[in-house]
Amino acid sequence: MKEIVTRYRNKDITIIWKSALCQHSTLCWKGEHGLLSVFNPAIRPWINPEGAATENIIRQINACPSGALSFFYNEDESEHQDTK
């Protein structure tokens, strides 16, 4: 099975979502600490990188239990060219 990797970019970071790793924990968008303004499975595209402050998005990505969500700072983009 081919891994699908999707990127979403704002001015500071690029969010990477690896769908094959996602365990659908809903921690990214549901509950008291969820960021529905960024991670909303009811709309497409489901990730809006402009939906919250970059620091809040990074905090939410770091809470992803499966590792399906990750990010890199845009100034470091050349280091991440291996992600297809």
First to last CA, the chain: 14
Angstrom distance (rounded) from CA 61 to CA 64 = 5
Record the pTM. 0.85
- The domain ranges of the chain are 5-80
The highest-level CATH class for domain 5-80 is alpha beta
pLDDT in tens, 19-41: 999 999 999 999 888 999 999 99
The neighbour count for residue 7, using CB atoms within 10 Å, is 15
Q: What is the pLDDT of residues 7-20, one digit of tens each?
A: 999 999 999 999 99
For the record, the structure tokens of 66 come out as 């499966």
